[in-house]
Amino acid sequence: MSTVNKFVEMYANHSALQGTRGRKLIDLAAPESGEHVVDIGCGTGQLTYAIASRVVPGGVVYAVDPDPERLAYARANLPAELKNIRFLNTRAHELGEIPEASIDLVFSNYVFQWIEDKAVALREVGRVLRPGGRLVMEVVGKIIDIQNEISMLAGEEGRTLTRRFFCPNRDEWVAILNDAGFEIEHADWPLLDFDYANLDALFEWWEGTTHGLFKRSAISSADMERLRADYPGRIFFQRNAFVGVARRPYTLRGPHP
Ligand SMILES: C[S@@+](CC[C@H](N)C(=O)[O-])C[C@H]1O[C@@H](n2cnc3c(N)ncnc32)[C@H](O)[C@@H]1O
């Protein structure tokens, strides 16, 4: 029996933007043959496969995610020719199975918005990276109003979600990475388009990406009626993302006290 639940399928079906951005991020990261890579928050695995195919021969990708069901999906859909992915069911700040200074590239696409203590996770990233190794990441710049609006209407779990995300802006990310001891090579803040055919498509994506913490079924019928009147058709919004390349220096200065 498959362990893949409906939220995993929902995420897989509604993550085209993350996929497109992720492929660009792989180009920016430029993984090479023989490199050892960690994909933090690999999710359903499509980007991990693309990285793994670029590091052969000799390279390895550790695919890290705390959600066992997303990892099961990634394992189940693994292309047969890829033998160089090791799946780790853990979180960014607990990479203990990966030896110190053994990694050339830490890659992370749309994950750090979930990580509450970013400094602790970055310390662990710094531990596994070899001197001169790079962190290449992209992350949501802001939770936008409609996500907050529908979450606030969806019971206590929905309201908790609105407090869950800490999304620094570009300058704050630069400071966080500097404080964690990294040297910044690239810090971009592009404005991205988000486009949903209708309110149901938005619900589907938000339920999938929040692993079902947001439930449209928790919205009262009166609120749902009002939402449908307020958002009768296509939903389009723009928001920034942070795109960063940061290197572990050759001479360690360590995190600032
Ligand atoms: C929006 S998905 C992105 C998945 C994939 N990187 C992609 O671009 O398709 C965010 C992923 O981060 C994972 N995640 C959440 N908290 C995490 C943590 N503390 N450490 C590592 N991954 C985490 C989630 O389980 C989820 O699979």
pLDDT tens for each residue of 40-78: 999 999 999 999 999 999 999 999 999 999 999 999 999
Which domain covers residue 185, as residue numbers?
Answer: 6-142+165-195+236-247
More confident residue, 71 or 116: 71
In a domain, 177, yes or no: yes
The CA–CA distances, whole Å, from 225 to 124, 146, 202, 207, 221 equal: 46, 15, 16, 19, 6
In a domain, 52, yes or no: yes
Number of structural domains in the chain: 1
In a domain, 185, yes or no: yes
Question: How does residue 255 score in pLDDT terms, banded at 50, 70 and 90?
Answer: low
In a domain, 35, yes or no: yes
In a domain, 204, yes or no: no
In a domain, 208, yes or no: no
In a domain, 230, yes or no: no
* 222 C-alpha to ligand 1 centroid (Å): 33
Could you tell me if 248 and 129 are in contact, meaning their C-beta atoms sit under 8 angstroms apart? yes
Strands 191-196 and 235-247: antiparallel
Ligand 1 pocket test: pick from 46, 95, 111, 136 the residue with the most ligand atoms within 8 Å of its Cβ.
111
Q: Is the pLDDT of residue 2 over 50?
A: no
Could you tell me if 123 and 237 are in contact, meaning their C-beta atoms sit under 8 angstroms apart? no
210 CB under 6 A from ligand 1? no
Q: How far apart are CA 101 and CA 79, in angstroms?
A: 29
Q: What is the CATH number of the domain that holds 58?
A: 3.40.50.150
Q: How far apart are CA 125 and CA 236, in angstroms?
A: 35
User: From the alpha carbon of 43, which atom of ligand 1 is closest?
Assistant: 27
In a domain, 231, yes or no: no
pTM over 0.85: yes
180 CB under 6 A from ligand 1? no
- Per residue in 181-212, pLDDT (tens digit) is 999 999 999 999 989 999 999 999 999 989 88
